[in-house]
Every structure is written in structure tokens, then in C-alpha cells.
Structure 1
Amino acid sequence: MMMRRPLPGLLAAAALALLAGTAAAQPRDRPLRLVVNVGLQTLDPISSPSFVTRNFAYMVYDTLVAMDGKGGYRPQMLESWQASPDRLRWTFRLRPGLEFHDGAPVTAEDAVASIRRWGQRDSIGRRLMAATRDITVVDAATFALELSQPFGHVIEALGKPSVHVPFVMPARIAAATPPTTPAKEVVGSGPFLFSKDDWVPGERTVFRRNPAYRPREEPADGLAGGKRPLAERVEFLTMTDVSLRAAAITRGEVDYLEYAPLDYLPAFRKDRNLVLSQAGGISQIMGGLSINHHLPPFDRLPMRRALQAALDRGEIVAAHGLPGDMAFPDCVSLYMCGTPSSNDAGGDILRGASLDRARELLRQAGYAKERIVLLQPADSALINPMALVVIDRLKRAGFNLDVQAGDWSSIAGRWVGREPIERGGWNLVPVIYTGFDMADPLSNVGIGYNCTGNQPWGYCVEAMTPVLAAYATEGDPARRKALAAELQRLAIENVTFPTTGQFRSPAVWRAELRGVIDVGFPVMWNIERAK
């Protein structure tokens, strides 16, 4: 049953009152206001897999390495790195002047503790740690990573741009907090300060400019370069009603929508006061279905193949009503089309989607109408339209769905658990990812978590294990591409993560904003209003 939503008028009144109250509290400081896709509930980017938590973390934390606009990796908190001739020992040096928000200097001990915590949680992080003999502090600004075996992705791992990002936090927090437990303190060294007293979980998050932040001297480029906090105050707001989002951005009551209401895109394109994102390639979005491989019936491959056969990407993406130049339903690459590892291996399976084929595969699988719990993120402007089509197609194919709608924050808590169905467990969750999460095989959600036991994935394809190991040690680009294609073929054949279509991010911001970095998700540094 669909969750009942408040009346748009009530939502509008409540949100506009919130905006008015904020403005009244800050008469001399007009905040920079971002409407996020879903409400922020969890603040720890290592324990949480949510994009909204990642967005929050980029405000208050910083990274050792960052990806630029062309997909290259640059030093960020680091001043430099050096590798030994055999590439088994890496030495990293922090740049001077880094300081946490509590006034403590950032040291090599903090970097080491943060890497260790992240390395227990993330897919590529786990592989890096498995290949590592030790990470040691050399001096206050220098640390060394010594590998026990070749690993060709050290910098790519430390510069991973999306969930889970290896952000640096104080050693006293990182070393004392298990990676699946949210940290009790938010202490970063990033360009903005989190205003905890102003935080209304799920509704509003407030940040203030960090006056002690020392940006890099070079210009901002993607997630790299000089992160200059130009706004004195930034607010993340939640507006579940899409018509309210549209009205707020049109009237200038908010400055930036992480995801624009899709029905309004044609009008937004004609509005000279608005700018739509043009980010392509790795910045685009892929829809998919997270499968619980631990529980019946999708612990069995025949059932997963029946599921995959029911997913017509063209029909699912069409639910967004996107302009033709923003939707790419024909892409079959698990790495997303337009990224370096993109290929067609195994793609013929995806091109044959049909309800008749799904019904036949269900019959062959011996499906006896077992209940299948699908968690529907009804508050997500991007996921929900696709989810509704997925639900309809699966029901028409013969799957006995128990659809449980809710807000994303509540669903995310169940998603990372491993409870049986009768105690809040789940079978399917519609999700979206960006190319930042999909482009690298070692962090790809349908490949990189293979046989790690990590929720919410749990898949384990034995044939993928040696190919992943070979990819992790391979240094030759051509050989890497061939291994990536083989991994994709195995993932599609074993239905680790069935995709539902690729499309461009529908972000929109006010034209008077200057310095917006269009990377596919919102980063709020370098932005100022035209005088």
C-alpha cells in the first residue's frame, strides 16, 4: 500500500514557514539553500551507504586524494605521494596547515586510523587492506603503506569519490568506532562547519563557513583543487512534494535542487533564471534493484534470472518522462556507458527482457508464490517513479510482491540489516547510483562486493573471485579492460545487481549562482551569487 502523503498545501505552508523562519533568524546573511533528494538522518559516511550522507560529508570532511573533472586523481589533503620501484611501498605526506574543526591539527595518525576504519567497510577498501602488510606513521605529517602483494589501485582506492568515501576524521574517533556504528561526533577538517544545534533530522541541516579552512591554491576541478567556502551559511532542506520544489526554485526561495522534479524539466529549460546540469559520463545515474542474496527466493539463480527478464529498461526509464537527450535506456554496461570500462559483454541477456520470458523462467524455477518484500522509497523523486514501474512489471510477471512504502532513511536502516522477512527483512530495494559508484570494477556495486558478505549485497559468484584478484593486481590498461569485460559478463549472467536504465542527473540551480561545479551531485564550495 502506498504511504499517504500530506496535502501539498500543508507541505508548502510548512516548508515556506521554515524558509521564512530561517531568513528571519539570519537577516544579514541570505543562506545558500540546497533541496536534497531525501532527508538526512545519519551523519557518518562510513557507516551509512546513503548519498545524502555522502553529500553531508563532503561539506565537513576532506579526502587525501580527490577525483578531478576528467576522472584523474590528484592530491587533496596530501602534499605528495611516492611509490617504490616495485610499487609495494607507498609514502604519503600531508600538506601543512590542515586543522580539524575542534582546533586540533590533522596528523598522519588521523589519516592511518581513518583508512583502517574505511578499509573494513568499503569494497575497494577491503581489497586494499587485504593486500596491505601494514600502514605506519613515519612522522606527524607522513605515513607509509606497505603492500604484501601487488595492488594496482592504491591511489584509486584512496581517491574513491562516492559511497563509501575514505574521508579523514580524528584518530580518537576513527580508531574507537566500528565501521558499521555511526560515530558519535562530527569532527572534520572540511570547508564547512556542521551546526548541530540547528539540525532537524530529516528536514534541515545547517552549515557555516569554516574560517580556518586552507584550500589548495589551484582552481577547483571536479572534486579536486581549491575548495573555497564562499557562502557564510548553507542549508540542506527536504521537500517531499515535487510541486513545492518546483515552486521554490522558480521563485528563488531555494537556490539548488539536487534532483529537479522531472515533469517540470521542459519549463525549467525555458526559464532564463534556471540552469540545468549538463554533467555526462561518470556523473550520470543508473537505476537498479538491490537484491538480498541471503534470503529465499533470490538466493537461487533461476529466480534472479526471472527477475532480470522482467525489467524492461526502456519502459522503466520512460517513467521519468525525460527529454531524449537525458535518457539512455539502451545502455547495457554495468559500468555505465561513457566511462572507461564500458563494454557490451553479457548485454544480449538484458536486451531480451519481456514479461513472457519472465513468466517462463518463473515456471522453470518452480516459484510457488512465496512472498517477496520490496521496500519502496516513496519520498525519492528519482527512485519512486522507476520503482512504480518495476512493481507493476513484477506483479504482471507473477511475482507475489509485498510492497512496503516508506521514507528512504527508514528503508536504509532495514536495507543494511540481515533480518529474516518476519522480523523486518527484505528481498528487493529499488536504488540509484552514479558512475562514481559504478565505473571502477573494484567498487562497482554489482562486482566489487563479491564474496565479502557485506550488506546490502551479499552475492558470491565463485567464478568472479580469481578475475577480481587478477584485475586488482593488473597494471596494463588493455588487460584491465578485458578483465573488466569478463567481470561484467559474469555479473550479468549471475544477476548480482540488475540495472533499470541510465540517465543524466536532473539537477537545477538559480542562474545568479557563480562557480557551481557540475559533477553529478551537489558540492557547495566555490559558489557565490552574482553581485
Structure 2
Amino acid sequence: MNKRITWSIAAGAATMLALAGCSAGESVDINGSSSDGSTLIAAIGGEPDQLDPQRTSSYFSFEVLENVFDTLVEPDENLEMQPALAESWEVSDDQLTWTFDLRDGVTFHDGSDFTSADVVYSYNRIIDEQLANAWRFSAITDISAPDDDTVVITVGQPSPNLLSNLGGFKGMAIVSQDNVESGDITTDPIGTGPFSLEDYVTGDHITLTANPDYWGGAPELAGVEYRFISEPSTALAALQAGDIDWTDVVPTQQVTDLESSDELTLGMTPSNDYWYLALNEAREPWNDVRVRQAIAYAIDRDAIVQAVSFGTAAENQLAIPEQSIWYTEYDQYSTDLDKAQSLLDEAGFTGGTLEMLATSDYPETVTAAQIIAANLEPLGIDVTISQPDFSTWLDEQNSGNFDMLMMGWLGNIDPDDFYYAQHHTDGVSNAQKYSNTEVDSLLDAGRTETDQAARAELYADAATIIADEVSYIYLYNPSVIQSWSPSVTGYETRADAAIRFRDTSLTD
């Protein structure tokens, strides 16, 4: 066998990191169906918390549901929006009316017809129930279905990011009203996607079977079985032994060996996800920009990147990675303890304690916290590390019960995804309580500017201020790392970390 290593470079990928734990349970035979042919065995890092694509925030759920549901439009490998359930669309001259023409003949897995009413229901559900992605509809004033094949979306202002808001899979799937109202969607989801749910054994696996009536053509695979393996070394051993065909639970310390392996394919691409630190500006002394800047100068990003990713991540002092068309160069905060101490002296800070919120569910946060504690000790800052489970971590963040926290932000495509929710004064994820009127104006303007060059300049200005004032201390952009058997063909690692098996096949 020839060595095969695939690298794909593209911009961006949308939703906060979340983790669902594994639990033991009984088998649930969803459809009672079986398929002939090859079933791909995939190992993912944990069990979905539920299978409602609009309610879950678990990446493990999205890894499965990407193959069960569709969106109105979808990003291609370059993260440019392409037709999906909408075959085409037009925008009015005033940029306020978007008309989407839907595909003919699309059906849900239960055989019911897909129509424009399903799109209207799905989007209104997100808005009315204030689900996690409701903020993506902030510019929308009306969603209507003049006939079964047409959806009209009216916005109150030009919205150059509308397609990316509708096409980022996580949370934006088109669902069946009957499936939702019956309550079955959490365990027995009915979508329009290339695979349907066949079997779910909680604590062990989920099996999908190919949808022969898929509008994009029946998949070549007979099905996909997802197994839940949280330990990277265990997943890699299973792949090497031929017990599984594909995994994204790859030990980063093994990447170098996998690059030279003739027996496995390594897929690795830079992502638009980012990891960051945030200081609580509602508390003293973290409300003093000089203190926040001092900590930014004290952090050893290179040591953190090496420790948590074995060098596979890209150190970055802004959110948007270098391969993106929206990238802005910025390198203000080289590690400089003398500069850090000078800023603390200027602020009148003579030492104290800092409680850092990490989580045992994301070991990289704990590893980084230990490095940060050593970085800040020479400045007279004693770091205590809190390690709750992720659900508790979220509660602590949302209640403002932290001095500093570390977490990641997933699924970014448009620059609005990178900045608005977390750094606008009214942003729904602005847990650090950052507020700057100039940044607010720039982010507001970016949402309506239709000229790409002018829009890029707005976001570059906003990003620079955000970093200068340390709303976040950006650490790095991770890579998407996956590995699979040479018998797997037609699969590509994507920068948005979307797991798509509809064009994949298995060879003997």
C-alpha cells in the first residue's frame, strides 16, 4: 500500500464546544431495517446527548446528524455556500428579500413530502423557542411560503452573512414538524439526509442506514455505525487492528508517526475553530485593561500549543486563522514578563489570586491552566484551577462565577461568527462583559456592509481593538485531525469539521 496523507486547506467552520457523556443503556431498534453491502465503522469521542439537531450543542451529536438532516444551503469544501434543499435563490435589488426555490421530489425518511412549510416551521421553531441559533435570525423580519416550492425571507437590513447563517449545519437543520411534536426527534430523528437512523444502543453505538431516495443520489455505503470511544490510544489501536474504519479520536502525539505510515490515511486540515482565555471584566482587577494586557504578555502560547496539541495547532493572537480570506495579521503579545510586570505596576496591582475555570471534560483546558499558573507565578498571581464537568462549567460561565476561563468556539464561516456574539456589548455569549462602543459600531456595520473589501476592513479594525483591549486572549487554532483505513475512499477532512459520509465508499 502506498502512503496516503490528505491535506485540505480552507477557511472556517458554528456553535460553542459541548460534550456529552456516555451512559449505559438498552438497544432501541428504530426502524427495524437492515442493509446489504458495506457498513463503515466510525469511532467518535463520545455519545450524543440527544438527536434533535436544533436543540443539541454536542459536537458528537452533529457528527451523526450531519448525515441524517439537510440544511437549506450548505458549505462546500472551501466553505462557500452551495445549493442543498434550496436549488437556487435570488436577492432583490434592495438586498432585503431573499427568494429560495426548493428542490422537487425531496422526501423525509418516513416518506412524507418535504415542502416550504417545513422550512418555515424549522426556522420559526428556532426563533420562537429561542434556541441556541436564534441570534442568526436577528436581521429577519419575515419568513413565508407563498407555495410549496418557494421560501421568501425578508430582512430588515442588507445581510451579507445570511447564507452562512442558514448553511452552517450545527443547529440549522430542516426538521419534520410531526417528528418534533411527537417528541420522537430526540431519539428517533426523521430527516431528509443521505442516511436514516436504524439502531441506537445507548452507551455503545448508533447505526445509520443508507437512504435510497436521497435527493443527491443514494450513498454507496450501506450504512454507518458510530461507536463511542473516548480514549485516543484505544481508538487508534482499533483502527490499526481493523476493528473500525475511521476515527477522529486521534492522539496528537501520534500524528508524526501517522504521517509516515503506509497502513493508514491521515487527514489533517487547519480549522477555523479557536481556543481562548477570557477574564471576567465585571470583577476587579480584571476590569483594568492594563491587568488584562499584563496577563496576555505573561502567557506562553507556544508552550500551551506544544502541550495540548503536540504542535499540530497554529498559534494565533486573533480568532481568524491565516488561511482564511478574513485573516488579519496581529502579533502584539509576545511573551514578555518585564512588560507584564510594568503594566501591573502601572495599574497598582501588587499580587493576588486568580481562579481559572477549566473542565475535566476537556483535558486541554486543564493542561493549559497548569502552564498558565506557572507563567503567572513570577508576577505574584496565585492561580487556583477549578475543574468541574462541562455542564457545571457552562453554569459557572453563564452566572459570571469565574476570574478567567478557557474554552473553544466552533463552526465559524463568516467573520460575524467569530466576533459578534462574544464581543458586542449585547452579544449572547459575552460572558466576560466586554463593552466598547467603537467595537459595537464596527460589528454592527459589518453585518450590513455588502462590499467584501470594506467589510474585511471593518472586521480587521474590530478584531484589533478586541485584542488590544484583551476581551479575549486568543491562544491557537486547532487542526481537524482524522484517520482512516486505506479501504475508505471518497472521504475528505473538512475545515468546518463536518463529517460527511454520503460520497464515501469501502473497497475490499
- TM-score bin, normalised by smaller chain: 0.7 to 0.9
Q: C-alpha deviations, 1:88-107, integer Å up to 9, x for none?
A: 11111221233333443222
CA RMSD of superposed structures (Å): 3.6
**Distance in 2 of aligned mates of 1:37 and 1:298:** 35
Tell me how far 1:335 sits from its aligned partner: 1.2
Q: Which runs of 5+ in 2 are unaligned?
A: 1-21, 27-33
- One-letter amino acid of the counterpart of residue 414, structure 1: D
Tell me how far 1:338 sits from its aligned partner: 0.8
Could you say what secondary structure the match of 1:279 adopts? Answer: strand
> TM-score w.r.t. structure 2 length?
0.80
CA distance change for structure 1 residues 446 and 130 in 2, over 3 Å: closer, same or farther? Answer: closer
Q: Which residue of 1 aligns with 2:250?
A: 260
- One-letter amino acid of the counterpart of residue 419, structure 1: S
**Distance in 2 of aligned mates of 1:365 and 1:113:** 56
Matched ranges for 1:54-203 at <5 A: 54-118=62-126, 120-121=130-131, 126=135, 129-161=137-169, 164-171=170-177, 186-195=189-198, 197-200=200-203
Q: Which residue of 2 aligns with 1:450?
A: 424
CA distance change for structure 1 residues 343 and 354 in 2, over 3 Å: closer, same or farther? Answer: same
Question: Are 2:475 and 1:527 aligned?
Answer: no
Could you say what secondary structure the match of 1:267 adopts? Answer: helix
Could you say what secondary structure the match of 1:463 adopts? Answer: helix
Structure with more contact order per residue of length (Cα contacts < 8 Å, sep ≥ 6): 2
Q: Which runs of 5+ in 1 are unaligned?
A: 1-13, 19-25, 218-226
Could you say what secondary structure the match of 1:137 adopts? Answer: strand
Kindly indicate whether the alpha-carbon contact (under 8 Å) linking 1:99 and 1:212 is maintained by their aligned counterparts in 2: no
Could you say what secondary structure the match of 2:385 adopts? Answer: strand
Match of 2:263 among 273, 276, 280: 273
**Distance in 2 of aligned mates of 1:305 and 1:207:** 49
**Distance in 1 of aligned mates of 2:502 and 2:41:** 13
**Distance in 1 of aligned mates of 2:182 and 2:296:** 42
**Distance in 1 of aligned mates of 2:278 and 2:181:** 30
Could you say what secondary structure the match of 2:71 adopts? Answer: coil
Q: Which residue of 2 aligns with 1:233?
A: 224
Match of 1:393 among 372, 375, 378: 375
Match of 2:406 among 426, 430, 446: 430
**Distance in 2 of aligned mates of 1:89 and 1:175:** 30
Q: C-alpha deviations, 1:450-502, integer Å up to 9, x for none?
A: 23342464543322121112111111121112112111112212323321123
The number of equivalent residue pairs is: 471
CA distance change for structure 1 residues 516 and 348 in 2, over 3 Å: closer, same or farther? Answer: closer
Kindly indicate whether the alpha-carbon contact (under 8 Å) linking 1:311 and 1:500 is maintained by their aligned counterparts in 2: no
Question: Are 2:325 and 1:340 aligned?
Answer: yes
Matched ranges for 1:482-493 at <5 A: 482-493=457-468
- One-letter amino acid of the counterpart of residue 431, structure 1: M
Q: C-alpha deviations, 1:295-354, integer Å up to 9, x for none?
A: 66645544433332232222211214646xx4532x43421111011012xx2433x333
Tell me how far 1:142 sits from its aligned partner: 1.6
Q: C-alpha deviations, 1:216-270, integer Å up to 9, x for none?
A: 26xxxxxxxxx83624232142223x33233222222222221410121222222
Question: Are 2:352 and 1:369 aligned?
Answer: yes
Identity of aligned residues (%): 21
Tell me how far 1:63 sits from its aligned partner: 0.8
Q: Which residue of 2 aligns with 1:414?
A: 395
**Distance in 1 of aligned mates of 2:61 and 2:376:** 30
Q: C-alpha deviations, 1:111-156, integer Å up to 9, x for none?
A: 1232234454567x63x53332211121223221112222222222
Kindly indicate whether the alpha-carbon contact (under 8 Å) linking 1:301 and 1:494 is maintained by their aligned counterparts in 2: yes
User: Does 481-490 or 261-270 show the bigger shift?
Assistant: 261-270
- One-letter amino acid of the counterpart of residue 435, structure 2: C
Could you say what secondary structure the match of 2:277 adopts? Answer: strand
1 or 2, which has the higher strand percentage?
Answer: 2
Kindly indicate whether the alpha-carbon contact (under 8 Å) linking 1:379 and 1:406 is maintained by their aligned counterparts in 2: no
Q: C-alpha deviations, 1:347-397, integer Å up to 9, x for none?
A: 2433x33344444444526476355241234555x6555454345434555
**Distance in 2 of aligned mates of 1:43 and 1:428:** 32
CA distance change for structure 1 residues 174 and 482 in 2, over 3 Å: closer, same or farther? Answer: farther
**Distance in 2 of aligned mates of 1:176 and 1:427:** 43
Q: Which residue of 2 aligns with 1:440?
A: 414
CA distance change for structure 1 residues 316 and 43 in 2, over 3 Å: closer, same or farther? Answer: same
Kindly indicate whether the alpha-carbon contact (under 8 Å) linking 1:446 and 1:497 is maintained by their aligned counterparts in 2: no
Q: C-alpha deviations, 1:373-431, integer Å up to 9, x for none?
A: 41234555x655545434543455544433233555x456536x62363xxxx444433
Q: Which residue of 1 aligns with 2:490?
A: 515
CA distance change for structure 1 residues 481 and 420 in 2, over 3 Å: closer, same or farther? Answer: closer
> TM-score w.r.t. structure 1 length?
0.77
